[in-house]
Chain A
């Protein structure tokens, strides 16, 4: 039996009401953008879809997953700040769903945006979702309908390590690991795209609209002069009767989806990794109160325990070292019944808070308890006193233990993530299984004002050496563009646009997003943790 967090929040206070108003406005802005990304399409493209007897990509997913089960969509606002906003959700939908009782990754092209062509960020999103499949040992269902790489931007999507080739590399690795893949070919899989069904264990192709070819009819004509129509070149019957590139030909999308469900139903379910669990229970404190807890100004401090109380089962929390290194709150709780070790920030990281974090993570690794990081961090403490006490080496311990942790890690960016605090608290670079952000979140190497002042300072010192001084106007001229670009780039929308997370979520959905993520993560084993050399 764990003790329940006693909330100190007064829901009738003026502050609570003010924060709630501010956060509700942020949420409706998020919902508006998400709705737009999900459903707003040019009429011309929607008409073409129905002319071809095709379903809208979201309807395909809806019919694929088990009725009444949730779909955890990743990065619904990917690419929202790029390509003039036209590549909605980066022209690709990815997420975790339940199909025939099995947890699977769904990856779907969206043919209503430039024929489903892959933009650079589409590639990044696909590669990331296959990485999720690899890390969590999940099967993948591909809903294929893409014109191939977006040719005007080929240099940004083709040649590098984590670009297009990585999709097929990841597919091959998944197969080696024994993770099943199914492709439902609704439209064309051209060029590289042809390898998606070819590298899948099962491929279903729709007669008339589905096609798989290394070179489409125009390219074939240009290359060899051969004139051939798409169906003869790589249609359903060619591939299921002659080439053996696909396994089943069907007459409609609905048939493909139903057959796909039957195929997934044949897959053997593996044993899940066992961790400590208890009967799930809703939080004692209402999740919607989170809106009244997150301040309207990023500079205002709040108690992370108030957030924990609204995410975890029964609001029960066993806090570890409550009186040591108090700017880092650590403790055990359950989410959807799964035992987790939570680390959250209550201020800047000091020597003691860093050591406490490292120590607590060691406990969790030995105890096979997954880690959840709630990031609201301005960084590690600076100043001569702290350097002398080894703030760098204590921070390094936290980073080392965190990096080497073998238990699944989950990160929620709840308010701010600045500087090395991001590293210690399992930022994107540290292979957390999933990273989610709240719409209010800001992320960057430092705050806008700090960056502007630092650059002014550098300039002042340069000029000093030449015996010159900066005028107020010149200071202003240095600061303004920095403030403006930071304003834009620190925003959660910019971050999610570039796939620095797995999506923005509404704070009230945090518990469910973590629950689905935890459940998915247990498809992979938890290895024994060993660490590098800690600078003690």
Chain B
């Protein structure tokens, strides 16, 4: 799998290829001949498809800054796994908020019909001397809250239910 970089807002897959005449780079499927000389102190001479470019390179975290012929560019290394995970994030297949342990409801902050964002507090529970905030696992609509303040619940109890995606679409 190639490495993923972002330049000027565009992402490219880059991988080295070994050719008879030195190293090449496959950028988005196209092979570019490449050679370079490290002059030290961040100064390099690059030869790309026969053209010569003196460049200066500095790195900071995930970014590489390149200065060449009066222009400067930032190249960002993208974590491919993170990108795949991010794209796959569809949220949980269930609509229910399940109690992770037995406990007592301290506070209910949302009611049926409220719109919630992912990560927003729906209720606060307490168990084993510890108060835990139960948050929405996705953007959506609260369909019902099944517990009340001061009430107890068992492990695995359904505390609240979010509206399923289909209903949401109907209402929108």
Q: Are A326 and B100 in contact (CB under 8 A)?
A: yes
Question: Known contacts A3-B79, A347-B100, A350-B101; is A301 also within 8 Å of B129 by CB?
Answer: no
Q: Which B residues touch A327, using CB under 8 A? A: 100
- CB contacts under 8 Å to B, within A428-486, are 447, 450
A326 to B98, CA, bound (A): 14
Quick check: is A378 within 8 A (CB to CB) of the other chain?
yes
**Min CB gap A443→B, angstroms:** 14
- CB contacts under 8 Å to A, within B97-155, are 100-102, 119, 126-133, 155
Quick check: is B29 within 8 A (CB to CB) of the other chain?
no
Interface residue from A4, A281, A299 paired with B130 (Cβ < 8 Å): A299
Which B-chain residue is minimally distant from A380 (CB atoms)?
A: B128
Q: Are A382 and B128 in contact (CB under 8 A)?
A: yes
**Min CB gap B106→A, angstroms:** 10
Q: Are B130 and A301 in contact (CB under 8 A)?
A: yes
**Min CB gap A484→B, angstroms:** 19
Quick check: is A1 within 8 A (CB to CB) of the other chain?
yes
Interface residue from B61, B82, B102, B132 paired with A301 (Cβ < 8 Å): B132
Q: Mark A400-435, 1 if CB is under 8 A from B, else 0.
A: 000000000000000000100000000000000000
Q: Which B residues touch A379, using CB under 8 A? A: 128
A1 to B100, CA, bound (A): 32
Q: Are A381 and B128 in contact (CB under 8 A)?
A: yes
Question: Known contacts A4-B79, A326-B100; is A385 also within 8 Å of B155 by CB?
Answer: yes
Q: Are B100 and A301 in contact (CB under 8 A)?
A: no
- CB contacts under 8 Å to B, within A284-319, are 284, 297, 299-301, 314
Q: Mark B58-88, 1 if CB is under 8 A from A, else 0.
A: 0001000000000000000101011001000
A382 to B127, CA, bound (A): 10
Question: Known contacts A3-B79, A8-B119; is A347 also within 8 Å of B129 by CB?
Answer: no
- CB contacts under 8 Å to B, within A1-45, are 1, 3-4, 8
Q: Which B residues touch A447, using CB under 8 A? A: 129
Q: Are B128 and A378 in contact (CB under 8 A)?
A: yes
Tell me the interface secondary structure of chain A in the complex. Answer: loop
How many residues of A are counted as interface, with CB atoms below 8 angstroms from the partner's CB atoms?
25
Q: Which A residues touch B77, using CB under 8 A? A: 1
A256 to B133, CA, bound (A): 59
- CB contacts under 8 Å to B, within A121-160, are none
Q: Are B101 and A347 in contact (CB under 8 A)?
A: yes
**Min CB gap B150→A, angstroms:** 16
Interface residue from A281, A300, A378, A382 paired with B61 (Cβ < 8 Å): A281
A481 to B50, CA, bound (A): 85
Q: Which A residues touch B132, using CB under 8 A? A: 301, 347
Interface residue from A8, A281, A378 paired with B129 (Cβ < 8 Å): A378
Q: Which B residues touch A383, using CB under 8 A? A: 102
Q: Are B61 and A284 in contact (CB under 8 A)?
A: yes
Question: Known contacts A4-B79, A284-B61; is A348 also within 8 Å of B127 by CB?
Answer: yes
Which B-chain residue is minimally distant from A376 (CB atoms)?
A: B130
Which B-chain residue is minimally distant from A302 (CB atoms)?
A: B133
**Min CB gap B117→A, angstroms:** 12
**Min CB gap B41→A, angstroms:** 18
Question: Known contacts A347-B100, A350-B101; is A3 also within 8 Å of B130 by CB?
Answer: no
A314 to B82, CA, bound (A): 15
A1 to B131, CA, bound (A): 35
Q: Are B129 and A450 in contact (CB under 8 A)?
A: yes
**Min CB gap B123→A, angstroms:** 13
Q: Are B102 and A299 in contact (CB under 8 A)?
A: no
A218 to B162, CA, bound (A): 83
Interface centre among A297, A300, A314, A350 (most CB of B within 10 A): A300
Which A-chain residue is minimally distant from B106 (CB atoms)?
A: A299
A301 to B81, CA, bound (A): 29
Q: Are A299 and B131 in contact (CB under 8 A)?
A: yes
Which A-chain residue is minimally distant from B127 (CB atoms)?
A: A348
**Min CB gap B75→A, angstroms:** 15
A327 to B82, CA, bound (A): 23
Question: Known contacts A378-B129, A381-B128; is A314 also within 8 Å of B100 by CB?
Answer: no
Question: Known contacts A284-B61, A347-B101, A381-B101; is A1 also within 8 Å of B130 by CB?
Answer: no
User: Can you list 21 residue pairs at the A/B interface with Cβ under 8 Å?
Assistant: A3-B81, A3-B82, A4-B79, A8-B119, A284-B61, A297-B131, A299-B126, A299-B129, A301-B131, A314-B61, A347-B130, A348-B127, A348-B128, A348-B130, A350-B101, A378-B130, A381-B101, A382-B128, A383-B102, A447-B129, A450-B129
> Other CB < 8 Å A-B pairs besides A301-B131, A327-B100, A378-B129, 4 of them?
A301-B132, A301-B133, A350-B101, A385-B155
Interface residues of A (CB under 8 A from B): 1, 3-4, 8, 281, 284, 297, 299-301, 314, 326-327, 347-348, 350, 378-379, 381-383, 385, 418, 447, 450
Nearest first, the 10 A-B pairs at minimum CB distance are A348-B128, A301-B132, A378-B129, A3-B82, A378-B128, A299-B131, A300-B131, A301-B130, A378-B130, A3-B79
